[in-house]
Amino acid sequence: MDTRRCIGCHACTVACKVNNELPIDMIYNPVFTHGPNGVFPHVSMTFYPHLCMHCKNPPCVGCCPTGASRQEADGIVWVDRNTCIGCKACIQACPYHARHPNPRTGTVQKCDFCMERVREGLEAFCVQTCHQRARIFGDLDDPGSAVSHIVRSMNTLQLLPEVGTDPQVYYIVSPGGQV
């Protein structure tokens, strides 16, 4: 996530909702506005585009009593709607508000990085639609990928690292090199 590029247009939120056909009150990837902070003339405002952090140590997977909540070998965390019983333990376990109960189906659902599209080599809807290229997607395990390069070389932060889940979404927060 490049917070220097994000202009807070919420196009990713809309693209996700429309293409994943989410219920009207469910948002996988909000864009939070942090600020304005400081006192004039020294003010700043940052947009934080969100999605599931697809943590390396996902607490939502270990607490699931049915095994519906899982992590794939490539790191994607998702929920199998056939075996989810809606106990909401994973919602309590998630520090990022990335899991949403659906009262119609009775199950919990979440951002799955558009798993089916990514497997076909396509981009997730939110990444595809971002005209500022603020959402940068790639393989962090591949040292040659653009995202690996960014995380190695730029000033990035993870949200709530103290919870210890090792989120796999990094935010570029201040001037560094260009991609």
Partner 1 sequence: MKEEHRWGWPVAFYLFLGGLGGGMTALAGLSDLIFGRGEAFSLGSLIGGSAIAVGSALLVFELGRPFQFWRVLSRQRAIMTAGAWMLSLTIFTSVAHFSFWPGFSPWQQLVGLRHLVAAINIVLGLGVCVYTGILLGSLRARAFWNTPILPVLFLVSGLSTGAAGQSLVAGAWPYRGSAVDVEAVHAALRSLDLTLVVFEIMVLFLYVLMMRLAAGKVAARIAATWLAGQKSLAFWGGVVVLGLAAPGLLYVFSSAAAHAAAPVLVLIGGLVLRFLVVFSDERAELPGESQYYSRLPKPDALFLKAWD
Binding-site ranges for partner 1 (CB under 8 A):
24-25, 30-35, 46-48, 50, 59, 62-68, 83-89, 91-97, 101-103, 105-108, 159-160, 162-165
Looking at beta carbons only, is 30 or 176 nearer to partner 1? Answer: 30
Burial of residue 172 (CB within 10 Å: 0-12, 13-18, 19+) is: buried
The rounded distance, in Å, linking the Cα atoms of 58 and 75 is: 10
Looking at beta carbons only, is 140 or 159 nearer to partner 1? Answer: 159
Least distance from partner 1 to the Cβ atom of residue 137, Å: 20
Residue 156, classed as helix, strand or coil, is strand
* Region at 54 (left for phi over 0; alpha for psi -120 to 50; beta for the rest): left
Least distance from partner 1 to the Cβ atom of residue 73, Å: 19
Looking at beta carbons only, is 43 or 160 nearer to partner 1? Answer: 160
Least distance from partner 1 to the Cβ atom of residue 39, Å: 18
